[in-house]
């Protein structure tokens, strides 16, 4: 049973490698050889001031290699309105001011636990690699200007990921805090060797862009429909960043998976609440039964259909295409995790713990 | 982050203690201060011969103490018909011929991981303690004969648990293999100091019993309706042991939780399959959409209603009462786990691992 760190995972996983692994996993999913259990979030009151505790989990796995991953997050959550936008923060309250997200890998051949590691680096790479797999099929071949909304952890992996699949000549970056977008533009220019400009508004980032990426922590829309122009490809790290009017303006939409939102289980509420951020239900503003129905866009094809060639990514130069990277799945962690583990073993990276600490002689 | 073993947990958790902890947790659940995410099972093909791999998970937690538990099982599964009954086996394929079931505890105050331990001992105690909590409210006060179907791990915890809540004078034990039931009768007599008889049939175990417990691994009914007599209390470790006709013969039914079966996610099947043992869907005999609807008994009150006094357990001497211990919930592991952890810390039991191996400096 191997314990790995984020640094070790970063040394073992490249963006190109992640894209190839995910592509194989979506093919396996389309062929009925892989599946996932959709994300569910559990909410209980937290003694932390102003906080609600959320335990998030998802699973997925495949027959080849025979690996199943559980990914979990254990977070004290805080929501607030910031500049007219609802923002969700995970408060790092674990010892040393840290966050808690873990991936556990298991063998589908023997059942044994194979590895435990933090989810952060892999999470970042898998989201961006998934967006880039979509961009490779849905963006125009000659797309050269990338508009980027956001300057955080997810934005930082999306810039190199998109640059890996299209010959980007300029990146136009907006995030609300001037210092953040300028720092980020500098970092991305150094990383990619491409011209990266910090711009004054989201609209300016979108203007003239062939690919527009929203990679923010906004729980309300940040892309206006009038910013979309013929031939553009649009993506996001969660559907709430786009909103209905913007999605309706797109000619072709592919979604990551049909399950639009986590199933939320909230102390004091008997019904399951299906919503990305059940803040209104948690705060008593909305009853559970009034919570959102599946949104209109869930009828679109999924990533597995795009990857397996069942649906095209783009049918003409002028189509506005959109990939809604709406929710993660455990299968992504199984695919990347299995490869990271194989490399870690080959290179002697990580800390081995006795497997028998995590197995048992009794039939549970 | 503490690693505990089954032996350590056994040394820290008594049946009486478990019953008191679970009682408190169900009260918290009734009061809206605790909740759970129902069990889900993920199925992928396993390279193990004749096997299917299943990853089972459930979560639950409460505000006081602020602890959330994830319980998982990682099993190579094999089904077979044995003497006319469909039996599910978990094949111990992990190194050393071991099974894999784990509980992970997290703090709802800080998010930090608190402990990891195998689930076997706690699983056994929580199922029996839950049955006994029901028996304490639903069996006749003067119940003195216990009929026991099964001679395995669950049966072994149910005998002392039932004996803890009623003055049992005789235990009548049946399981299909003569050597097993005789060995088990000897063990239970030694453990409880009560007369324990191995009998020749399930019907003989039921005859004259005031409390009848099915604690088998049968996926089809083992209790016939004609065995039920006025005043009897009946329970089980899963609803499949009882069957519709037997449950309909009961005058009063309480169920553990309303979710009747796990949500199953099966590679190659797009729909979620709701079934306790989706063997027919896995084998292609039944399509996912033909899978079982929620059974009639899910409309009955739940354990939290019984514990909080919202519904009575028995209204007359002659009622036939039944507790369907239909499916486990993560909340049980949170309640027992929090107490075990507190005691382990107080007594210096277990292996401490650095918490920072399981936390991270990045916002996931």
- Give CA separation, B194 vs A68, A292, B148, B188, in Å: 46, 57, 14, 8
The CATH class that applies to domain A2-123+330-355 reads: alpha beta
Q: For residues A234 and A320, is the Cβ–Cβ distance under 8 A?
A: yes
pLDDT means over runs of 10, chain A (364 residues): 98 97 98 96 87 95 97 92 77 95 98 98 96 98 98 95 98 97 98 97 98 90 97 94 95 93 91 84 79 85 98 98 94 98 98 97 80
Q: Tell me which CATH code domain B2-123+330-346 carries.
A: 3.30.1780.10
Q: How many CB pairs under 8 A join A and B?
A: 292
When CB atoms are compared, the residue of B32, B46, B267 closest to A34 is: B267
- Interface contact B284, partner A, CB < 8 A: no
Q: Are A343 and A14 in contact (CB under 8 A)?
A: no
Distance between CA atoms of residues B21 and B27, nearest Å:
10
DSSP strand pairing (A85-91 vs A101-107): unpaired
User: Could you give the CA distance from residue A222 to residue B364 in angstroms, rounded to a whole number?
Assistant: 21
- Write down the pLDDT at residue B259: 82
Q: Give the residue on B whose Cα is nearest the Cα of A41.
A: B37
Write the pLDDT tens digit of every residue in A212-222: 999 998 878 99
Instruction: Give the DSSP H or E segment for A106.
Output: strand A101-107
Which residues on B lie below 8 Å from A263 (Cβ)? 37
Q: For residue B250, which of B263, B265, B231 has the smallest C-alpha distance?
A: B231
Task: Looking at the complex, report in whole angstroms how far the Cα of residue B208 sits from the nearest Cα belonging to chain A.
Answer: 31
Which residues of chain A make contact with B75, given a CB cutoff of 8 A? 111
A351 touches chain B (CB under 8 A): yes
- Does the CB of B92 have a partner CB in chain A at under 8 Å? yes
Q: Are B161 and B128 in contact (CB under 8 A)?
A: yes
Interface check for A364 against chain B (CB to CB < 8 A): the answer is yes
Chain B: residue whose CA lies nearest to A154 = B364
What pLDDT is recorded for position A37? 96
The pLDDT of residue B238: 86
Residue spans in chain B of domains classed CATH 3.30.1780.10: 2-123+330-346
* Residue A364, pLDDT score: 67
Q: Start-end ranges of CATH 3.40.50.720 in chain A?
A: 127-258+294-324
For position A300, what pLDDT does the model report?
Answer: 97
Provide the pLDDT for residue A253: 98
In this prediction, residue B291 carries a pLDDT of: 66
pLDDT in tens, chain B (364 residues): 999 999 999 999 999 999 999 999 999 999 999 999 999 999 999 887 767 999 999 999 999 999 999 999 999 998 877 777 777 789 999 999 999 999 999 999 999 999 999 999 999 999 999 999 999 999 999 999 999 999 998 999 999 999 999 999 999 999 999 999 999 999 999 999 999 999 999 999 999 999 999 999 887 899 999 999 999 999 999 888 999 999 999 999 999 998 878 999 999 998 888 887 888 888 888 887 776 678 899 999 999 999 999 999 999 999 999 999 988 999 999 999 999 999 999 999 999 999 999 999 987 6
Q: Do A95 and B360 touch (CB under 8 A)?
A: no
Nearest-neighbour CA in chain A from B300: distance (Å): 15
Q: Does A266 touch chain B (CB under 8 A)?
A: yes
Quickly tell me which residue has 């006709």 as its tokens: B245
Domain with CATH 3.40.50.720 in chain B: 127-260+293-324
Single out the residue of A46, A54, A50, A49 nearest to residue A273, CA to CA.
A54
Judge residue B310's burial from the number of C-beta atoms within 10 Å of its C-beta, 0-12 exposed, 13-18 middle, 19 or more buried. exposed
What is the CATH topology of the domain spanning A127-258+294-324? Rossmann fold (3.40.50)
In this prediction the pTM is: 0.94
CATH class of B127-260+293-324: alpha beta
Span between the terminal Cα atoms of chain B, in Å: 20
Predicted pLDDT at B218? 82
Query: Which pLDDT score, from 0 to 100, does residue B309 have?
Result: 97
Q: Which of B36, B107, B360 sits opposite A265 (nearest CB)?
A: B36
Delimit the CATH 3.30.1780.10 region(s) of chain A.
Answer: 2-123+330-355
Closest-CA residue in chain A for B4?
A357
Residue B272 to chain A, least CA–CA distance (Å): 9
**What's the pLDDT score for residue A285?**
81
């Amino acid at each position: 049973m191997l314990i790995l760190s984020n640094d070790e995972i970063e040394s073992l996983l490249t963006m190109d490698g992640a894209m190839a692994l995910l592509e194989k996993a979506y093919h396996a999913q389309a062929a009925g050889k892989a599946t996932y259990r959709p994300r569910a979030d559990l909410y209980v009151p937290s003694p932390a001031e102003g906080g609600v505790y959320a335990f998030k989990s998802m699973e997925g796995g495949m027959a080849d290699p025979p690996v199943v991953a559980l990914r979990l997050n254990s977070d004290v959550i805080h929501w607030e309105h910031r500049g007219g936008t609802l923002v969700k923060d995970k408060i790092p309250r674990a010892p040393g001011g840290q966050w808690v997200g873990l991936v556990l890998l298991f063998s589908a051949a023997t059942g044994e636990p194979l590895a435990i590691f933090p989810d952060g680096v892999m999470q970042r790479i898998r989201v961006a690699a998934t967006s880039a797999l979509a961009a490779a099929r849905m963006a125009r071949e000659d797309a050269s200007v990338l508009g980027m909304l956001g300057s955080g952890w997810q934005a930082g992996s999306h810039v190199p990921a998109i640059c890996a699949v299209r010959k980007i000549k300029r990146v136009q970056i907006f995030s609300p805090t001037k210092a953040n977008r300028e720092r980020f533009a500098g970092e991305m220019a150094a990383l990619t060797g491409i011209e990266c400009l910090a711009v004054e508004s989201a609209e300016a980032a979108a203007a003239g862009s062939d690919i527009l990426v929203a990679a923010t922590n906004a729980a309300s829309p940040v892309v206006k429909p009038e910013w979309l122009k013929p031939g553009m490809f649009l993506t996001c790290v969660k559907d709430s960043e786009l909103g209905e009017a913007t999605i309706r303006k797109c000619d072709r939409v592919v979604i990551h998976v049909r399950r639009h939102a986590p199933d939320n289980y909230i102390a004091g509420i008997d019904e399951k609440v299906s919503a990305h951020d059940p803040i209104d239900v948690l705060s008593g503003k909305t009853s559970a039964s009034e919570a959102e129905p599946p949104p209109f866009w869930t009828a679109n094809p999924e990533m597995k259909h795009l990857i397996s060639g069942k649906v095209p990514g783009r049918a003409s130069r002028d189509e506005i295409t959109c990939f809604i990277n709406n929710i993660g799945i455990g299968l992504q962690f199984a695919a990347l995790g299995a490869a990271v583990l194989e490399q870690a073993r080959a290179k002697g990276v990580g800390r081995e713990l006795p497997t028998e600490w995590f197995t048992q002689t009794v039939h549970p």
